[in-house]
Chains A and B, each alone.
Chain A
Amino acid sequence: MANHNKPEEAPDTGHVWDGIRELTNDPPKWWTVTFYLSLLWVVVYFVLYPSIPLVNGPMTGILGWTSIKEYKAAVEKADNLRAPYVDKLEKMSAQEILADQEMLNFANSYTNAIYGDYCAACHGANGQGAEGRFPSLLDDDWLYGGSVDLIQETVTYGREGMMPAFKGEISDAQIAQLADMVIGLSQGNQGDAASWALYEEAGCGMCHADNAKGDVDAGSANLTDSVWRFGSSRDDVIRTISSGVNQEDVEGTHNAIMPSFEGRLTENDIKLVTVRVWSFGGGQQ
């Protein structure tokens, strides 16, 4: 430091280029101090934290710090924060949760992981399903009922519907006539008498009811609304009537099985998933 203002007095290496001497001033004191402090910090760090890898694992350091421990502590902290809400959810019924905006928000966040793990593979990340394959949970058309209790029943025990294949039972022309008729019903037409007669003769009404509005207890579809479980085009409808649903050894039949989650999810988790599905926008009283 002392020679910075008096270069002519500073010691040099004896090297001169273009008349400029190379000085040998000491490095600044602050720099030297910082340098030695950082050396000291190396020692402190080695003592405190995991450092040298040895044969039986690394030196652990006296703090015992690991990134896994840090992660677990963070998870525990988050769990403790959530605990009062989680406890409250467990005590509330599905209806109570749906009536409480704050708890509903919490429940819908809480079930992100459960829904993503168990439901989203078929029903889609937002419950949109896949047309003709997996049903949408967003609309208000429910084969087995859209009340909280019935949704909970569906999730708990699963569902497996059945529709016989009519190919061979009735002629292709009759199948086409029935298809045209039900497509017309879904668009608000009434259907002609001959078609209604064929509907009854073929036995459609035994499941889908005489007025074709379906039956929640049997899980049969409402043929007069505009939501189609297995596709709304004429070809789709003809295929459904021809090959049925869940028919063994019938080519082109629809496979439609909702698995049971009893035992796979706790009762509480099923309740919360029910709340989520009900509040997707199509829940019914």
Chain B
Amino acid sequence: MDQKKAQIDESNVQELYDELAQWHINTGGQTIHAKRMPGKFRTLKWITMSTWLVFFLGPYLRWDGQQAVLFDIPNRQFHLFAITVHPQDVWMLSLVLILMAMVLFGVTAIAGRVFCGYFCFQTIWTDVFTWIEEKIEGLPAQRRKLDKTSLNFDKAKKKIIKHSIWLAISVLTGITFAAYFTDAFQLWVDYFTLQANMVAYIVLGLFILGTYFLAGYLREQTCFWLCPYARIQGVMYDKDTILPTYDAQRGEPRGKLKSNSNTGDCIDCHMCVAVCPTGVDIRQGQQEGCITCGLCIDACDNIMEKIDRPKGLVRYASIKEIRGGHLKPLLKRPRVIVYSSIIIAAFAGVFYGLVNIAAIEWHILHQRQPLYIMMSDGSVQNKYTFKILNKSKEDITARITAQGIEGATLTGIADTLELKADKLVPFNVYVRTNPTQLPEEHTPITFVLQNINQPEMVFKEKSVMVRPPR
């Protein structure tokens, strides 16, 4: 064994180390202070970021005198404008989740990590936090210098202001999230008068901690090591997926700008690295750290303009395009077809579900022991428990009748039932008939629930009536 070990060529192993030495991924040892440069994609990013304002304003919208979007967990209801979703309709939630996952996958297959670069809360909160940092502590170089200086009054002042603003944003984020689960205006009052529920404080605490820590400190490390989406991007891309790509054929060999050199268009100015919020070098190709935000494209285009060379040395392009090929039409890509079919099916399901939310959901339980009761006049009686849930916001007056069995009479409930809004009430119902009316030992019976005030509102449930064997 020892001999065999000795035979292994050490130079093979050395390659591993060499490769690792080239692998400059920041594991959190240094803070990335990215340069901010204006440009097309920077503007686009501000626009997409602003969609998150909806999140902050959402809880204060009113609809019909109620909070428009409210996840009422204690009462097990989800209010979404005019729609109220009960736990019984939860199958729609799974379709919504499928829908969102498929949109994410589909977009990733076509245009890469659009979500990461333009919509992800991690990216956006980090962007806002670093923007604030720049306003207070200055440009990247000044920030690096400030980090190195020992504590003095000026540094302390800047740090305190920065962290206070960060914390304020974290608090706002936490309160906003919690406001979706209870009355938003009351929650503010409760939070500041220390009257809020313990759960509300725990949620707020977790959100402050999460926002402050993730956006303030962990930043791009979240994308590298925490986020599962970054890990599976490789399987969702194909050669037609467009990504910020460095045109190596045009750029290489890179070299400092000199009047009489025959280097490529890349002047090795490192601007693309300096502006990257995750600190990667796009010129190394597609990589885990790239959130496809396009800021390196802005930076490179700026430089190209200055040195009077065509823009687009770094641009959104697929591997195929960079190699001189053409993009496949969208509808000829299997991934697009599969994803969009699932999206359409899920959307159709959710739409059907929301349109057809029934005002009443009821279940009928036939008594098991005993299955039937013989009465003194020779008739047979069955007991049923009706569990009736009125999901609408109004009380319903209903009448229940039985169909399918001649001469079956219902007892145990009043002629008309008062079904209170948002209540599930069990009713014990007895059905009695002459056994000669029951051709089978288990004869089907249909119960019909009709809203007296809206006779077109009819709900039917099937059950059976049991008689002794003849």
Point out residues on A near B: beta carbons under 8 Å. Answer: 1-2, 4-8, 17-20, 101-102, 105, 108, 124-126, 128, 136, 138-141, 188, 222, 225-227, 279, 281-282
Identify the closest chain A residue to B370 (Cβ). Answer: A128
Contact in complex: A101, B417 (CB < 8 Å): yes
B321-336: which have CB < 8 Å to A? Answer: none
B356 at interface, CB cutoff 8 A: no
What are 11 A-B residue pairs whose CB atoms fall within 8 Å in the complex? A1-B27, A5-B23, A5-B29, A6-B21, A101-B427, A126-B369, A128-B370, A138-B381, A225-B376, A227-B376, A281-B412
Q: How far is the CB of B320 from chain A (nearest CB, A)?
A: 34
Contact in complex: A139, B413 (CB < 8 Å): no
B66 at interface, CB cutoff 8 A: no
Q: Which of B375, B426, B427 contacts A139 (CB 8 A)?
A: B375
Identify the closest chain B residue to A102 (Cβ). Answer: B425
Contact in complex: A226, B29 (CB < 8 Å): no
Identify the closest chain A residue to B12 (Cβ). Answer: A19
Contact in complex: A5, B24 (CB < 8 Å): yes
Which of B369, B373, B377 has the most A CB atoms < 10 Å from its CB?
A: B373
Q: How far is the CB of A252 from chain B (nearest CB, A)?
A: 25
Contact in complex: B373, A138 (CB < 8 Å): yes
For B13, what are the chain A residues with a Cβ–Cβ distance below 8 Å?
A: 18-20
Contact with A along B411-437 (1 / 0, CB 8 A): 111100110000001111010000000
Query: How many A-B residue pairs lie within 8 Å, measured between CB atoms?
Result: 84
Q: How far is the CB of A9 from chain B (nearest CB, A)?
A: 10
Contact in complex: A279, B425 (CB < 8 Å): no
Q: How far is the CA of A5 from the CA of B28 in the complex (A)?
A: 11
Given contacts A18-B8, A19-B8, contact A222 B376 (CB under 8 A): yes
Q: Say what secondary structure dominates the interface of chain A.
A: loop
Contact in complex: A105, B426 (CB < 8 Å): yes
For A141, what are the chain B residues with a Cβ–Cβ distance below 8 Å?
A: 375-376
Contact in complex: B369, A125 (CB < 8 Å): yes
Q: How far is the CA of A282 from the CA of B374 in the complex (A)?
A: 11
Q: How far is the CA of A143 from the CA of B138 in the complex (A)?
A: 96
Closest 4 CB pairs of A and B: A225-B376, A19-B13, A141-B376, A138-B373
Q: Which of A4, A5, A6, A226 contacts B374 (CB 8 A)?
A: A226
Identify the closest chain B residue to A8 (Cβ). Answer: B17
Given contacts A18-B13, A125-B369, contact A101 B414 (CB under 8 A): yes
Q: How far is the CA of A102 from the CA of B426 in the complex (A)?
A: 9
Contact in complex: A139, B370 (CB < 8 Å): no
Q: How far is the CA of A258 from the CA of B154 in the complex (A)?
A: 92
Contact with A along B361-395 (1 / 0, CB 8 A): 00000010110011111100101000000000000
Q: How far is the CA of A128 from the CA of B370 in the complex (A)?
A: 6
Q: How far is the CA of A5 from the CA of B350 in the complex (A)?
A: 49
Identify the closest chain B residue to A188 (Cβ). Answer: B378
Q: How far is the CA of A17 from the CA of B29 in the complex (A)?
A: 29
Identify the closest chain A residue to B382 (Cβ). Answer: A281
Given contacts A102-B425, A139-B381, contact A1 B28 (CB under 8 A): yes
Identify the closest chain B residue to A3 (Cβ). Answer: B29
For A4, what are the chain B residues with a Cβ–Cβ distance below 8 Å?
A: 27, 29
Q: How far is the CA of A19 from the CA of B367 in the complex (A)?
A: 75
B10 at interface, CB cutoff 8 A: yes
For A7, what are the chain B residues with a Cβ–Cβ distance below 8 Å?
A: 17, 20
For A124, what are the chain B residues with a Cβ–Cβ distance below 8 Å?
A: 369
Q: How far is the CB of A81 from chain B (nearest CB, A)?
A: 14
For B29, what are the chain A residues with a Cβ–Cβ distance below 8 Å?
A: 1-2, 4-5
Contact in complex: A138, B17 (CB < 8 Å): no
Contact in complex: B376, A139 (CB < 8 Å): yes
Contact in complex: B426, A138 (CB < 8 Å): no
Contact in complex: B428, A279 (CB < 8 Å): yes
Given contacts A18-B5, A18-B8, contact A101 B413 (CB under 8 A): yes
Contact in complex: B378, A226 (CB < 8 Å): yes
Given contacts A4-B27, A226-B375, 10 further A-B contacts (CB under 8 A): A2-B29, A19-B13, A101-B427, A108-B428, A126-B367, A128-B369, A136-B373, A138-B381, A139-B381, A279-B412
Q: How far is the CA of A7 from the CA of B375 in the complex (A)?
A: 89
Q: How far is the CA of A272 from the CA of B163 in the complex (A)?
A: 65
For B377, what are the chain A residues with a Cβ–Cβ distance below 8 Å?
A: 225-226
Q: How far is the CB of A16 from chain B (nearest CB, A)?
A: 10
For B367, what are the chain A residues with a Cβ–Cβ distance below 8 Å?
A: 126
For A5, what are the chain B residues with a Cβ–Cβ distance below 8 Å?
A: 20, 23-25, 27, 29
For A128, what are the chain B residues with a Cβ–Cβ distance below 8 Å?
A: 369-370, 373
For A138, what are the chain B residues with a Cβ–Cβ distance below 8 Å?
A: 370, 373, 381, 383
Q: How far is the CA of A226 from the CA of B380 in the complex (A)?
A: 11
Q: How far is the CA of A1 from the CA of B27 in the complex (A)?
A: 8
Contact in complex: A281, B378 (CB < 8 Å): no
Contact in complex: B8, A226 (CB < 8 Å): no
Identify the closest chain B residue to A128 (Cβ). Answer: B370
B21-40: which have CB < 8 Å to A? Answer: 21, 23-25, 27-29
Q: How far is the CA of A24 from the CA of B24 in the complex (A)?
A: 21
For B17, what are the chain A residues with a Cβ–Cβ distance below 8 Å?
A: 7-8
